[in-house]
Amino acid sequence: MSQKIQQLENEIKELQLKISVLENILISTVPEWAKDPLKKVGDKGEVPYPFLKTDTYGSYDYYRIIALLVRNQII
């Protein structure tokens, strides 16, 4: 039984590491072209992905949508 618990704990640690790596890859880099639109949205109080507890905004799809909305003066 103890060996099975140890195996499961190791699997949990491995999965946590994989999640951390994926989050860093997917959410950590804000492209230059998105920084100005994101600043404008941030100045209006937008809080992106509050459930992630991070200061990043998210995916390229999010950046594109925000840039489009700001460019067309929707937000």
- The pTM for the full model equals 0.52
**Domain residues for 54?**
2-71
> How many independent structural domains does the chain possess?
1
How far is residue 74's CA from residue 69's CA, in Å, rounded to a whole number?
Answer: 5
pLDDT digits (tens, 9 = 90+) for 5-59: 999 999 999 999 998 888 777 666 788 898 899 888 888 877 666 555 555 556 7
Q: Produce one character per residue of 3-17: b if its CB has 16 or more CB atoms within 10 Å, e if not.
A: eeeeeeeeeeeeeee
Q: Where in the chain does DSSP place strands (E)?
A: none
Q: Determine the pLDDT at residue 48.
A: 63
